[in-house]
């Protein structure tokens, strides 16, 4: 999907970096792409430095294609670029990677924002996934990510279809999905002490609303917001509502730090 932003390269890292101010770093999910965040980038680039690293979902060797492997990559990226005081946000698998990073004591992270995050429970693409060459099947699977199936544009379905039709990419998708299910963080979440914002779609069937409630119960300093008529990727489906909730949270934590 083409983006109106320049993709920067620094060594082995590819990322978007727009605006000035405290860093707001966005981590995409398994079938996610940088384009998932265009609504956030547009809104926040005037007040924050918005950074979207391209996670190497398909570039790591199979052994390191895991939540842990992606977290190591994220740590190196943050260190390499010298970011600090980061507001770290993740959707789906990206939320899981953000959580693992924060649990490893991440002194450069200031707040955590999770939306439709894995790490406790998720309905995957199912055991029948993926059917290669079956476009209709992939379209339906992509549509269930959203409350409104029209959000799954042809462009988005094509992206997913292309991924699952490459055998090696398919193996890596399965490897990451299994890693996410195996890597359950339930017992560790009480150690997340950062201010945490949870934004959940009320109609999310991949990480259903009870998952948001459970995160809220287990993460001590967390606040939870539900958005109606919204599925697994609120920042794509209802960007305006999402941005209002996020802006309030960021502003509060900016001010809290200043006092």
Q: State pLDDT tens for residues 52-92.
A: 999 999 999 988 999 999 999 999 999 999 999 999 999 99
- Global pTM? 0.93
Q: What mean pLDDT value characterizes the chain?
A: 90
Tokens 């770093």 found at: 25
What span, in angstroms and rounded, lies between the C-alpha atoms of 165 and 169?
Answer: 8
Q: Does domain 8-122+184-258 have CATH number 3.40.50.720?
A: no
Q: Would you state the pLDDT for residue 127?
A: 45
Domain ranges of the chain: 8-122+184-258
Q: At residue 233, does pLDDT exceed 90?
A: yes
Alpha helices (H) along the chain: 38-44, 67-81, 93-103, 135-143, 154-164, 167-182, 209-218, 234-237, 239-258
Rounded to an integer, what distance in angstroms lies between the CA atom of residue 55 and that of residue 29? 9
3-state secondary structure of 21: coil
Burial class (CB in 10 A: 0-12, 13-18, 19+), 168: exposed
**CB hemisphere CA count around 115 (13 angstroms):** 35
| pLDDT at residue 158 is higher than 60 | yes
């Amino acid at each position: 999907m083409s983006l109106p932003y320049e993709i920067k390269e620094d060594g082995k890292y590819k990322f978007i970096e727009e605006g000035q101010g405290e860093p707001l770093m966005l981590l995409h999910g398994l079938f996610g792409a940088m384009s998932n965040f265009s609504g956030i980038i547009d809104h926040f680039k005037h007040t924050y430095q918005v950074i979207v690293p391209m996670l190497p979902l398909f570039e790591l060797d199979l052994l390191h294609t895991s939540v842990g492997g992606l977290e190591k990559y994220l740590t190196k990226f943050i260190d390499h670029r010298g970011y600090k005081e980061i507001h770290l946000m993740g959707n789906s698998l990206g939320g899981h990677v953000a959580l693992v990073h924060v649990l490893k004591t991440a002194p450069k992270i200031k707040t955590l924002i999770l939306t439709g995050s894995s790490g406790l429970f998720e309905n995957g693409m199912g055991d029948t996934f993926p059917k290669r060459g079956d476009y209709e099947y992939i379209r339906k699977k992509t549509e269930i990510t959203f409350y409104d199936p029209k959000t799954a544009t042809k462009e988005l379905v094509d992206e997913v279809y292309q991924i699952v039709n490459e055998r090696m990419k398919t193996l890596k998708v399965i490897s990451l999905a299994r890693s996410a299910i195996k890597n359950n963080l339930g017992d560790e979440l009480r150690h997340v002490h950062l201010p945490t914002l949870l934004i959940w779609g009320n109609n999310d069937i991949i990480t259903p609303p009870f998952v948001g409630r459970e995160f809220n119960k287990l993460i001590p300093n967390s606040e939870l917001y539900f958005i109606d008529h919204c599925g697994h990727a609120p920042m794509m489906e209802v960007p305006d509502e999402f941005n209002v909730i996020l802006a309030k949270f960021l502003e509060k934590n900016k001010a809290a730090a200043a006092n």
